[in-house]
Amino acid sequence: MPQFDLDRLLQSIDSRTARAGVIGLGYVGLPLAVATAARGFFVTGFDIDPPKITAIEAGRSYIEAVTDAALQAEVAAGRFRATSDFDRLADCDIVVICVPTPLTRHRDPDLSFVTATTRAIAARLRPGQVIVLESTTYPGTTREVLQPILEETGLTCGRDFLLGFSPEREDPGNRDFHTAVIPKIVAGEGEAACRVLAAFYGAVVDKVVPVSTTQTAEAVKLTENIFRAVNIALVNELKVLFDAMGIDIWEVVDAAKTKPFGYMPFYPGPGLGGHCIPIDPFYLTWKSREFELPTRFIELAGEINSAMPRHVVGRLAEALDIRSGKALSRARVLVIGLAYKKNVPDIRESPSLKLIEIIEERGGQAAYHDPHVAEIPKTREYMALKGRQSVDLTPETLASFDAVLVATDHDEIDYAALLAVPVIIDTRNAFARRRLASERIIKA
């Protein structure tokens, strides 16, 4: 039994007097913090990036899912504040961890952000606090990694503090689903923790779905993303096969999805991007080694999706040779869209970066245009691309390119203007969906 007053904690959640802390104010943490404040809680956001703190204090949102108006309302009301002073964690009753969980170069889980954050919490942990992990990870992380670190303080999980897991389900750029309306999976280490998490998230989002263990909740998130990765790999493989047969994969999928049962449409692309789909499945493949069990579907899906950028550049080189008699090594290529997904500025794991790298490996010159990404920031994998800037889509600029490669189909792009370029590689079916036709367009 908890040594603190569980009923009082639940009452403080119900009355909105419980104070929440959100660590990591990125694509997951900031929307959660603002949504929690909007439901009446006092929220402190923690981040080690000073520009984020400055922006929040000024009421400027750097995440599309959070409008300036929504952020300003909570800051002005005093319900949301941001800080890099982690000593303020002691003031929080509920602490939610929303930090990155990337992969190492060898595709092993990199939990350095999670462990560093947990140690920062442990240094300030007090009886009665509730710690929640939202970062995607392998089953067992909450119990096997966080709990021992927190218990090094001498406090005991389930007796002195509560611990749980609730996977994030943000979908950047999706205007139909935002934090408060997406059902929330919750699980705790013990019944008391599960009750508290259900009460807290139930006060923030419309629907809460409790599951039996934190390992189950961790597995739920991985299953969702593996489902997408495998199905995207399947349609990417079909794209290559059907293309060889002279069949348009986009027409096939559009026709297949008219079936009202037994089919769900997935679409091909130039590769996988984002922080979830290209990364999360490998957290499970890594964990599976502990049980000496293979994950063949997951690993094969990864191989297929990882091969797509080179397939696309291969089609580009072939089209340049056939259509204009120019080798890729002598060509200038404009990549449309640097973000991994349409209508967002997020470039994490974007295949566009890989496309640019491969084009230049083969001797070509590459530039990009993206209305959401003015300049390529520092990345771990593509340091050589840092500082490159988006070019304008003027007639003069377009006339200087031998080919256009549509990697991300942002709505703001003037696709009709792109038809002036001799070779057009369309990986998103962007032109057909806008009823723009030309012999220069090649789907890849």
Which residue ranges make up each domain of the chain? 6-212, 228-443
What is the maximum alpha-carbon separation in the chain?
77
The token pair at 343 is 């209508």
| C-beta separation of 24 from 46 below 8 A | yes
Given CA atoms 68, 69, 70, 74 in this order, what sign does their dihedral have? positive
pLDDT digits (tens, 9 = 90+) for 163-205: 999 999 988 778 788 899 999 999 999 999 999 999 999 999 9
- pTM equals 0.92
User: Is residue 276 annotated as part of the catalytic site, yes or no?
Assistant: yes
CA 28, CA 22: separation in Å to the nearest integer? 10
For every one of its 444 residues, what pLDDT tens digit does the chain have, with 9 covering 90 and above?
A: 566 789 999 999 999 999 999 999 999 999 999 999 999 999 999 999 999 999 999 999 999 889 999 999 999 999 999 999 999 999 999 999 999 999 887 788 999 999 999 999 999 999 999 999 999 999 999 999 999 999 999 999 999 999 999 999 988 778 788 899 999 999 999 999 999 999 999 999 999 999 999 999 999 999 999 999 999 999 999 999 999 999 999 999 999 999 999 999 999 999 988 878 888 999 999 999 999 999 999 999 999 999 999 999 999 999 999 999 999 999 999 999 999 999 999 999 999 999 999 999 999 999 999 999 999 999 988 999 999 999 999 999 999 999 999 999 999 999 999 999 999 999 999 999 999 999 999 999
Burial of 151 (0-12, 13-18, 19+ CB in 10 A): middle
- Contact residues for 136 (Cβ-Cβ < 8 A; gap 6+): 101, 167, 168, 221, 222, 225, 276, 279, 280, 283
pLDDT digits (tens, 9 = 90+) for 101-153: 998 877 889 999 999 999 999 999 999 999 999 999 999 999 999 999 999 99
CA 288, CA 294: separation in Å to the nearest integer? 7
| C-beta separation of 132 from 93 below 8 A | no
Class at the top of the CATH hierarchy for domain 6-212: alpha beta
Task: Kindly state the DSSP code that residue 330 receives in the 8-state scheme.
Answer: G
Residue type, 23: I
Q: Which of 98, 157, 194, 276 is catalytic?
A: 276
- CA-nearest of 151, 175, 189 to 31 is 175
Class at the top of the CATH hierarchy for domain 228-443: alpha beta
Q: Alpha-carbon dihedral of residues 38, 44, 47, 52, nearest 10 degrees?
A: 50
The per-residue b/e assignment along 43-75, b for 16 or more CB within 10 angstroms, e otherwise, is bbbbbbeeebbebbeeeebbbbbbeeebbbbbb
- CA-nearest of 316, 345, 349, 314 to 331 is 316
* The domains spanning 6-212 and 228-443 adopt the same CATH topology: yes
Residue type, 362: R
